[in-house]
Amino acid sequence: MDSKTLRVVQFGLGPIGQASAKLAVERSQMKLVGAIDIDPEKVGKDVGEVVGLGTKTGISVSADAKKTLAEAKPDIVLHTTRSFVPDVFPQFEAILSAGVNVVSSTEELLFPQLKNPDLARQLDLLARSNNATILGTGVNPGYVLDTLVLMATGVCTDVTRIRAERVVDASERRLPLQKKVGAGMTPEEFKALVAAGKLGHIGMKESVALIAYGLNWTLSDIQEEIEPVLADETATTPFLTVPKGMVAGIHNVGRGFVDGEERITLDLKMYVGAKNPHDGVHLDSVPPIHLEITNGTMGDIATVAMLHNMAPLVVQADPGLKTMADMPVPRVFL
Amino acid sequence: MDSKTLRVVQFGLGPIGQASAKLAVERSQMKLVGAIDIDPEKVGKDVGEVVGLGTKTGISVSADAKKTLAEAKPDIVLHTTRSFVPDVFPQFEAILSAGVNVVSSTEELLFPQLKNPDLARQLDLLARSNNATILGTGVNPGYVLDTLVLMATGVCTDVTRIRAERVVDASERRLPLQKKVGAGMTPEEFKALVAAGKLGHIGMKESVALIAYGLNWTLSDIQEEIEPVLADETATTPFLTVPKGMVAGIHNVGRGFVDGEERITLDLKMYVGAKNPHDGVHLDSVPPIHLEITNGTMGDIATVAMLHNMAPLVVQADPGLKTMADMPVPRVFL
């Protein structure tokens, strides 16, 4: 691995983007050369102020992506704005057209071929024709329930059934995450928001599809279920209280079927007061594999880590739209 | 991942090579098109007979590597002969000169830059000039104590200290493995053989070096210790008995130092009667990571798996000498 300082632009300064920008300033092997956000509260301010660094960086937040990219000439954009590919396509278009690589936490970008094959093809063409690379990653989707699953199968001569699970105690996460999993709602409110597509983990089907792509499995169907986890006792976080019987969080299951048979099951529980938080991969395989990450992989910081750690690998990669299954083994960028 | 049938030649028909050849015949996505070994007991026989398939394959074992490669025109060679790069260099030279890719269990090939930098450069040049790719892999070295360690760091923003461990109950392994770890010897016999370089796990320093390469750490030193594990009670395997006080197996530790400070510690215990066999990666890191594979990764079959699973990725890779840190995430080849 060549050692060089990466010039990065942070695109999106929500909670994850702020943590990413802060880390980019602090790391010796990265140089933050620009920051983009459309929030009027942030535009024009020094990014050091926006992300709570306590010092000025000399970089002002700009709402003009094209201008920032043209002036800053980054090696790569760290992109953390929205979850759905159609919403962020114009942003990717601006980045790739400037010939700049991008690594993004947009959940659907993990495997955009699933829900937006036309946009995926356009992104691939745009990237290739501008000698740039684009990758979607994160901790989930991006690592625990997909890339780590692929890695676990690497020592097997046969795999017939994949089960992976992630249990997160949402008590320890930020308020937006607690709200995102429905903590404190009534079961009815939860179900109404799920039906409206406004609640829940995004990227579950993409994780299933990425595993299948990596293993060369042709899926006959991908299914997803979202149910509330109800509090069996009153639970309190620094931000809110969940009375007994109310929604403590979410139980999200993704299933991948080959010829009608369920071969992939991804099980995510994120709720306030979750016992035994952990990540696990369990394979019916030769040899059998049972892999566990004790206490699980801490969410937000790990997503920032994946963006930063994949950045130098994306810069070195061939042009085009890549998936985590196409990329070298993730490793910390030090 | 493109789906196609890989044409493979098995080079080396020892225990691992036989298992590899057998699996290559059994897999629908591989076609065994040649087999090479110098053992007069095997040469000229049908490979199906040699590997105990119970059926003929129409492929005769040949001692002539160049002729076999020229006639069989494989996509890749699965290479399982010896442990040290200088011993197998002429074999790699023959394979690469024929323009054929190779994935090998030669332990030192995991990171040949460490002990044989000149030969590593020659292999890289040979591979590039013949549009071929060469990779060393296996379960250990190749996965548990190196690639999996890199993978574990992937969700971290900082890693200061790496500890990985592998505990193998040698009772369940084949006799050559039990002998390789010294089971049944006196402590004096063990130490004499270690001093003569004739005993012990090979590839420990290469695992340390591969991690450092992947993380961009410059090591000031790599150290290795090999000690006997003595039986605290009499242990019996299908092949031998270890009386109390005699050698039950090996304890092998690899250490990597950065600026004189130990940052990487790899701890391998392989002995008859080992309790709680497992693989583990423990990082002093942000966030902290504790990953474990319950019961560990079964050795021989996993090495065969790694050779087969990396094969299609090696075929697709750019030409040259590659390491596991340069390759896509391993996944089962189905």
Contact B158 A286 (CB under 8 A): no
Profile chain A (334 residues) by mean pLDDT over runs of 10 residues.
Answer: 80 96 95 97 97 94 98 98 97 98 98 98 98 98 98 98 96 82 93 87 96 97 96 90 94 97 97 94 97 92 97 98 98 94
Contact B329 A334 (CB under 8 A): no
B287 and B179 assigned to the same domain: yes
Q: Quote the CA–CA distance of B134 and B6 in Å, as a whole number.
A: 16
Please identify among residues 25-64 of chain A the ones whose CB lies closer than 8 Å to any CB of chain B: none
**Pair of tokens at residue A7:** 């010039």
**Average pLDDT of chain B?**
95
Q: Domain of A36?
A: 6-138+301-322
pLDDT value at B1 more than 50? no
Q: Residue B328 falls within a domain, yes or no? A: no
B161 and B278 assigned to the same domain: yes
B49 and B171 assigned to the same domain: no
By CA distance, what is A162's nearest residue in B? B332
**Of A99, A127, A123, A97, which Cα lies nearest the Cα of A109?**
A123
A44 and A179 assigned to the same domain: no
Q: Residue A330 falls within a domain, yes or no? A: no
Gap from A139 CA to chain B (nearest CA, Å): 7
pTM (two decimals):
0.97
Cα angle value A126/A130/A133 (rounded, 5°): 75
- What CATH number should be reported for the domain holding residue B126? 3.40.50.720
Interface-testing mutation among A148, A315, A329, with chain B (most B C-beta atoms within 10 A): A329
pLDDT at A129: 98
By CA distance, what is A211's nearest residue in B? B331
pLDDT at A1: 43
Residues in CB range of A87: below 8 A, 6 or more apart: none
B95 and B176 assigned to the same domain: no
**Pair of tokens at residue A280:** 């696990």
End-to-end Cα separation, chain A, in angstroms: 11
Q: Closest partner residue to A155 among B151, B156, B305, by Cβ? A: B305
Q: Residue A331 falls within a domain, yes or no? A: no
Q: Closest partner residue to A293 among B150, B289, B297, by Cβ? A: B289
Q: Quickly state the pLDDT bin for B201 (edges 50, 70, 90).
A: confident
Cα angle value B162/B214/A104 (rounded, 5°): 100
B199 and B250 assigned to the same domain: yes
Q: Residue B331 falls within a domain, yes or no? A: no
Chains A–B, number of C-beta pairs less than 8 Å apart: 170
- What CATH number should be reported for the domain holding residue B166? 3.30.360
Contact B332 A23 (CB under 8 A): no
Q: Residue A131 falls within a domain, yes or no? A: yes
pLDDT value at B242 more than 60? yes
ipTM of the complex: 0.96
Q: Residue B38 falls within a domain, yes or no? A: yes
Which residues of chain A are within 8 Å of residue B155 when distances are taken between CB atoms? 139, 143, 297, 302, 305-306, 309, 330
Q: Residue A79 falls within a domain, yes or no? A: yes
pLDDT at A3: 55
Please write the tens of the pLDDT for every residue from B254-287: 999 999 999 999 999 999 999 999 999 999 999 9
A202 and A232 assigned to the same domain: yes
A229 and A201 assigned to the same domain: yes
A207 touches chain B (CB under 8 A): no
Question: Averaged over B32-49, what is the pLDDT?
Answer: 97
A292 and A305 assigned to the same domain: no
A267 and A318 assigned to the same domain: no
pLDDT at A179: 85
Count of domains for chain B? 2
Gap from A266 CA to chain B (nearest CA, Å): 17
Q: Residue B26 falls within a domain, yes or no? A: yes
pLDDT at A237: 87
Please identify among residues 106-165 of chain B the ones whose CB lies closer than 8 Å to any CB of chain A: 139, 143, 147-148, 150-151, 153-159
A273 and A308 assigned to the same domain: no
B165 and B126 assigned to the same domain: no
B213 touches chain A (CB under 8 A): yes
Contact A309 B217 (CB under 8 A): no
